Amino acid sequence: MRKDVQVSVLGILDAGGGPEAVLTRTTGICSPQGGGYQVSYRELDEHGNATDNLLFLSQTEIRIDRSGSISGSFRFIPGERTEALYRTPFGDIGFLAETESCTVEADGSGLEARLEYRLYEGGRLFSQNTLSVHIREDDGDGPAPDHTTRRNHI
């Protein structure tokens, strides 16, 4: 069953210059799929450029497909390295994603997912990353998300 949801995605990445937090709050759609959950949402960057995101969350893997101003596909499987291609306005970047852990928990009020991974480019460590995803049914109560992504050094 498809549900309208509120989506909060917090990414913390460290590419060697200290950790940077990227927070996205928006609305989306969540539905069960193949032993996990599919979540789709749109985010806007600080310039108003849109990126569509499709997440697949399960106990055995997390997949992220992005299209728009930034695009790419990532597959995260604990203990494995997977290939990923990231397309930006500045060119394509090939990565290896090494997944340390991924957890997905569902309860009556929503989903919580956490992913820890490293990205390698050209055989060298590019960044260490943590991704936390919070999905809640959109009941119309509370503040509306602003559909934007914010970056802050922490």
**Residue 5 banded pLDDT, cuts 50, 70, 90:** very high
Angle at 54 between CA 52 and CA 57, to 5 degrees: 155
**Residue 147 banded pLDDT, cuts 50, 70, 90:** low
Among 105, 133, 113, 101, smallest CA distance to 8 is for 133
Among 36, 69, 76, smallest CA distance to 53 is for 69
Please give the residue that has the higher pLDDT: either 93 or 143.
93
User: 94-130: per-residue pLDDT in tens?
Assistant: 999 999 999 999 988 899 999 999 999 999 999 999 9
pTM: 0.85
96 three-state secondary structure: strand
- pLDDT reported for residue 115: 96
Average pLDDT over residues 43-52: 85
Query: In 15-109, at which residue ranges do the beta strands (DSSP E only) sit?
Result: 19-33, 36-44, 50-57, 62-68, 71-76, 81-88, 91-107
**Residue 45 banded pLDDT, cuts 50, 70, 90:** confident
Written as six digits, the tokens of 108 are 């009556």
Average pLDDT over residues 6-13: 95
Are the CB atoms for 92 and 86 separated by under 8 Å?
yes
Written as six digits, the tokens of 90 are 């500045």
Please give the residue that has the higher pLDDT: either 128 or 138.
128
CB atoms within 10 A of CB 33: 12
Instruction: Count CA within 13 A, CB hemisphere, residue 114.
Output: 4
- pLDDT reported for residue 148: 55
Map out the domains of the chain as residue ranges: 3-153
CATH domain 3-153 topology = Lipocalin (2.40.128)
- pLDDT reported for residue 138: 81
User: 48-96: per-residue pLDDT in tens?
Assistant: 888 999 999 999 999 999 998 779 999 999 999 999 988 888 889 899 9
- Give the length of the chain: 154
Judge whether residue 19 has pLDDT over 60.
yes
Written as six digits, the tokens of 126 are 């590019």
Written as six digits, the tokens of 99 are 């997944």
CA-CA distance, 34 to 11, in Å (whole number)? Answer: 25
